[in-house]
Amino acid sequence: MRRPKLLLANHFDLTTVCGTTVMFAEVLRLAPRCAPDVQFAYLSYERHASAGALRRHLDEAHRDAACMVAVNAHIEVRWDLSEALFRWCREREVPAYLYAHDYWPQHKPAMQTLIAKFGARVIASTAFVAEQIEREGFPAGVVEVGVPLPDTVPPAPAPASPKIIACAGRLVPRKRLADVVRGFAASGLDGTARLYVRALPSNVFSPDADTAQLAEMREEIGRHRLTGVVIDRKPGAPPDYLSYAAYVCSSSYEGFSMTVIEAAFHGCPPLMSDIPPHQRTARALFGDAAEAFLYPAGDWQALGRLLRDEVPSSRRRTLISSRLDDIRSAIRTRFGLGQTAGALARLALSA
């Protein structure tokens, strides 16, 4: 019997480093093992110069799709191609799902168009995102997203010396990367610890906007005369959580935050802004100690105090180490992407 084909669509090529491409790459890797009854295929918007070119490719390569799942097709990036993709699905009677990993109020008209005009069915990556969407009046199911996990992990060693505080994110304002630099300055740890910032292209804003984000960080480095800050712009290898003394996620908004879960899995304490997804993650992983890993979003002085409390003492690292087997088990059970692959496959099997 021929396996039904599930077409996964995203704005970006899998070589582009962002949360959705990392997630999809892992889903595709796991699919043969976790969803052997479904054939998975991947479509990148950015490979096509126009709506016409996208439609031609769909007709040539994906007329046999049982259903299509598009991540964040309701955002502004290449909206013309989002419309073309969902129009093609409607005309070819291919069930089409909008898989929402993020939602902001300005996305409502686009989401409304995809639902009302093209029959898109909405699924959310987390219960938190589903709640946001349902408050806007749209029905939404949930297919829980997760994080890529290694098959085996060595015991977490002591962090390198001098200790490294790390953060990574795209150059978008909501990531608040400059706040991490400010927090490092407020911690007073410059000289005894280093700050490593992996600053990736925004993928959604202009090069000038990316440059402005970098300039803000560099201005803070100069203002505070910091010597221990490294800004790395190369996509390169994944984060080396095993060598970090702490990992910071300072975002003012996340639909789902992969890196803080990855850090905890490797025994590295994640220090997080207290936005709802981070609160939920902290409670899921650290239970009654959750508040020790959180600070008020945008309060870089509070971040500085948190860094000053953790980096010299390793008190949160010690807590994670004492519970590491349970934390890893919870992550594999709740946040493993094998479950995501299986849930997506069931959409194709039910088409």
Could you tell me if 15 and 129 lie in one domain? yes
Query: For 310-347, how does the pLDDT look when each residue is reduced to its tens digit (9 = 90+)?
Result: 999 999 999 999 999 999 999 998 898 999 999 999 99
Could you tell me if 71 and 16 lie in one domain? yes
Whether 155 is in a domain gets the answer no
Q: How far is CA 149 from CA 24, 30, 219, 228, in A?
A: 13, 11, 36, 30
**What is the domain count for the chain?**
2
Q: pLDDT averaged over the chain?
A: 93
Whether 241 is in a domain gets the answer yes
Could you tell me if 91 and 194 lie in one domain? no
Average pLDDT over residues 180-206: 94
Report the pLDDT value the prediction gives residue 1, as an integer from 0 to 100.
60
> Hey, what amino acid is at 301?
Q
Whether 153 is in a domain gets the answer no
Taking alpha carbons only, the member of 56, 41, 49, 53 closest to residue 8 is 41
Measure the CA–CA gap between 234 and 237, rounded to whole angstroms: 9
Measure the CA–CA gap between 341 and 28, rounded to whole angstroms: 8
Q: What is the phi/psi pair of residue 316, to 5°?
A: -75, -35
Q: Which residue has the higher pLDDT, 17 or 196?
A: 196
Domain containing 176 — which CATH number?
Answer: 3.40.50.2000
Query: For 227-259, how does the pLDDT look when each residue is reduced to its tens digit (9 = 90+)?
Result: 999 999 987 777 889 899 999 999 999 989 999
Whether 33 is in a domain gets the answer yes
Whether 107 is in a domain gets the answer yes
Q: CA 186: distance to chain centroid?
A: 27
Share of the chain above pLDDT 70, in %: 99
Report the pLDDT value the prediction gives residue 136, as an integer from 0 to 100.
93
Judge contact between 48 and 57, C-beta under 8 A.
Answer: yes
Whether 158 is in a domain gets the answer no
Q: What is the phi/psi pair of residue 23, to 5°?
A: -65, -50
Average pLDDT over residues 298-307: 98
For residue 228, the 8-state DSSP code is S
Whether 315 is in a domain gets the answer yes
Report the pLDDT value the prediction gives residue 351, as an integer from 0 to 100.
80
Report the pLDDT value the prediction gives residue 157, as an integer from 0 to 100.
66
Q: Is the pTM of this model over 0.85?
A: yes
Determine the structural domain holding residue 101 and report its residue range. Answer: 5-146+336-349
Helix-helix angle 276-286:127-135, to 10 degrees: 150
Judge contact between 243 and 164, C-beta under 8 A.
Answer: yes
